[in-house]
Amino acid sequence: MSTDTPTTPPNGDCFGAPAPSSLSLGVVGNCAFSALIDPHGRVVWSCLPRFDGDPVFHALLGGEEPAGAFAIELEHLTEARQRYEPNTAVLVTELWDRNGQGISITDFAPRFLSRGRYFRPTMLVRRVRVLKGAPRIRVSLAPRFNWGAQEPVITSGSNHIRYVGEQQTLRLHTDASVSHVLSRQPFLLTRELNFLFGPDETLEGGIGDTARHFEQETLSYWRGWSQRLALPLEWQDAVIRAAITLKLSMFEDTGAIVAAMTTSIPEAPGTQRNWDYRYCWLRDAFFVVRALNSLSEVGTMEDYLGWLSNVVVGANGGHVQPLFGIGLERELTERICERLPGYRGMGPVRVGNQAFEHFQHDVYGNIVLGAAQAFHDRRLLNPAGLAEFERLETVGEKAVRIFDQPDAGMWELRTRARVHTSSALMCWAACDRLSKIAHTLQQAERAAYWQKHAEGMRARILRESWSEERQAFAESFGGRDLDASVLLMAEVGFIDPSDPRFIATLDALEKHLCDGPYMRRYEAADDFGKPETAFNICTFWRIDALARIGRVEEARAIFETMLKARNPLGILSEDTHATTGEMWGNYPQTYSMVGIINAAVRLSAAWDTVI
């Protein structure tokens, strides 16, 4: 998938391109860090040394040019094209000038097996090649520290530039002219150039040889990884891109999975619904693991279970907060960064997330669901057993105790607590899956114990969340407001989708929450009023529900609409504006990419129809 973008240089400058006005951003990374690159080849977002670190490149959230960006600019730019090398996380940007001269920029973060382990340095590699003619380029590298507040001290050598800050020092290795880079001096591109930006460390080999080797090995890694996916027959390119994006959202050092790579992209224009998603939510991570499992990519689950086990042990049978830092940090105190104006000037820019203080009771079900497959899957290098089951039982006991108590709910309402149906549902799922795990482990007494709790919870949820007035399952016990999260009842196996109550609920949700093919989260106003944009995962839940009740053609049509809502590189953010089709919310959103995989797997024709 590629994009062709006509460009008008800003302010009469013969170099450069407009600031990003949309989320048509390429994503590169290596399960240690990531970078977002706009259609003109500018690195506009990258946090170092890890996902939740300092945004060394922060142009996505504004600031004075050229600070906070890494640009390789073409003189008299008129056209830009961007694509991924097939089945990889290697991004190629082509820039063409008014005279038909062109360059290509290949961006990636090295990732491959070396010496029996994955080599994944915190390094961005940028390779620039001539496509035609003798184009003139300008390299502008302007990292900033402390959320844009600190300009680095710069030192240089014959083939490197050091950017020295209070907390970290970064180094550029390049075979381009160091003087041209430091001065932002335009120059003719007559040969291949390489830029390796990362920690303040020396290279073992030559700059060009190292860049070429890293590119070849990284391409090989991703192609091999993609080749092992168990793909559906239809929509394979969309599924592969979604799967790679989910993989890139994993912090392999601990096994954590970030909900998104950005902070403070508004859920809707000018709403201040700006949140920091660069952390690991147990809820989101479970859905990521399950989606990748459906493609037979179980390695991510194994890594995540290591992180999850530390969460469970640390809780010691008590309260589990809904999200953690990717290194298991518990304190994620929220603050406003006054320095940056925000995406398209729409602040505030938030750092940290107050939701770590919340009580969100669905978390206990998400823990058990995230671990459940490990007890049944014989492919795993470290399958779960009795010891792991006993640890999960402490989570289940907590679910039993709080299943009917008020909480902030999965939408993290900050000023309202209710007994949310989705939270009670996930507490039921914890007990239901524990019963199944116990059966697999031949623990008959424990299987019966958890089944009894699950049955009791199920009866109460069916009774107390049903609204006779609305003829639908409501968002809370005894409530009347509608919420898309109740569609998870079918997805987690709580209710037969052919049950008239579930079908009636879907009908009600479509009537009151849908804007054409898109679905909003809920109808009641929250702390910021009523939601304006459609929440992508809710639309995918609707697709799943439609398929389950036999309305398959409708489901396929809506899925095709969602595929068109992606950016030209095949990636989704959190929200879609139903009228303008614009993407809003943090990016790339793992929830949304999960939806692409789940819908394709459910709706695709079977392989045996063509072979």
Q: Per residue, what are the HEC states of 462-474?
A: HHHCEECCCCEEC
pLDDT digits (tens, 9 = 90+) for 67-114: 999 999 999 999 999 999 999 999 999 999 999 999 999 999 999 999
Rounded mean pLDDT of 476-496?
97
pLDDT digits (tens, 9 = 90+) for 323-372: 999 999 999 999 999 999 999 999 999 999 999 999 999 999 999 999 99
How much is the pLDDT for 529? Answer: 76
Question: Residue 3 pLDDT more than 70?
Answer: no
Percentage of the chain modeled with pLDDT above 90: 90
Please state, as a whole number, how many other Cβ atoms lie within 10 Å of the Cβ of residue 610.
7
pLDDT digits (tens, 9 = 90+) for 247-268: 999 999 999 999 999 999 999 9
* 321-to-214, 313, 574 alpha-carbon distances in Å: 39, 13, 22
Question: Residue 2 pLDDT more than 60?
Answer: no
Domains in the chain: ranges and CATH: 3-206 (2.70.98), 228-604 (1.50.10.10)
Q: Going edge to edge, which strands form the sheet with 575-576? A: 534-535, 575-576, 583-584
- Of 65 and 258, the one with more pLDDT: 258
Q: How confident is the model at residue 526 (pLDDT cuts 50, 70, 90)?
A: confident
How much is the pLDDT for 11? Answer: 45
* 476-to-96, 266, 329, 420, 511 alpha-carbon distances in Å: 56, 27, 31, 4, 19
pLDDT digits (tens, 9 = 90+) for 394-443: 999 999 999 999 999 998 877 678 999 999 999 999 999 999 999 999 99
Rounded mean pLDDT of 34-57?
98
How much is the pLDDT for 16? Answer: 66
What pairing do the DSSP bridges indicate for beta strands 54-57 and 43-48? antiparallel
Q: How confident is the model at residue 6 (pLDDT cuts 50, 70, 90)?
A: very low
| pTM of the predicted model as reported, rounded to 2 decimal places | 0.96
How much is the pLDDT for 65? Answer: 84
Question: Residue 39 pLDDT more than 90?
Answer: yes
Q: How confident is the model at residue 202 (pLDDT cuts 50, 70, 90)?
A: very high
What is the average pLDDT value for the chain, to the nearest integer? Answer: 94
Alpha-helix residue ranges (DSSP H) falling in 358-499 = 363-372, 386-402, 421-440, 444-464, 488-491
Question: Residue 10 pLDDT more than 50?
Answer: no
How much is the pLDDT for 17? Answer: 61
* 366-to-282, 361, 425 alpha-carbon distances in Å: 6, 9, 11
Torsions phi, psi of 367, nearest 5? -65, -50
- The DSSP code sequence of 327-380 is T-------EEETT---GGG--PEEES-GGGG---TTHHHHHHHHHHGGGT-TT-
